Amino acid sequence: MNLFIDPDMPPPRLRQSIYDGDLVVFTKLHSVRKFVDYTREQLSDLFKPYEPEHAHEHIDKVEMAKLLGSWKPRFIRSSSCQLHASIPNGSWQSRFSVDFRTVDVADLDAGRAAPLVDDDCTGTAIRDFRRVADGAPFDEERCFGAPPPGATLVFAPPITEALHVS
């Protein structure tokens, strides 16, 4: 495994490095700062009048689950092919983690991806993704053929339906 910090390499090479298991760290991405600011604003609105880091002190667990259950699915979901980890939280404040995934169409078409080492899936989550430019779904031909009978084609977490508040 290699470690790249703020690498200067073309996007296809960068993605291949990630797929190969290299660790890539970006320390100065304006777009990530904007995303963090946006997410912080979303959470501040969600937990008003409380600060997000202290909302757990004022909102019971069931209500918190309802709030987060309706908010979190609005963000993009994907496979477990990449490293997921967290550091212990000893601050006694709530900490929020927002995962997001992207799909590069050229990589998808060429079959380039991270190896499946921790997953027993039998299908694909590609139907969950949307094109950023217009929100359109992926073409069916990119979804690896016909799904098996009774397959769930687009993931909709049951908790979202159960906790829907009118």
* Phi, psi (degrees; rounded to nearest 5) at 105: -60, -40
- From CA 75, how far away is CA 98, in angstroms rounded? 8
**In this structure, is residue 4 part of a structural domain?**
no
**In this structure, is residue 9 part of a structural domain?**
no
Q: pTM of the full predicted structure? A: 0.46
- Please, where are the H alpha helices in 85-166? 105-110, 158-162
Specify the pLDDT at position 158. 60
Predicted confidence (pLDDT) per residue in 87-99, tens digit = 677 777 777 666 6
**How many domains are there within the chain?**
1
Specify the pLDDT at position 164. 47
Place of tokens 């969600």: 46
**In this structure, is residue 11 part of a structural domain?**
no
Helix H or strand E segment including 14: helix 11-19
**82 burial class (0-12, 13-18, 19+ CB within 10 angstroms)?**
middle
Strand ranges for the chain from DSSP E? 3-5, 23-25
**In this structure, is residue 8 part of a structural domain?**
no
Q: What residues make up the domain containing 59? A: 29-162
**In this structure, is residue 142 part of a structural domain?**
yes
**In this structure, is residue 73 part of a structural domain?**
yes
The mean pLDDT of 50-60, rounded to a whole number, is 90
Predicted confidence (pLDDT) per residue in 118-160, tens digit = 666 666 677 778 887 888 887 766 666 676 677 666 656 665 4
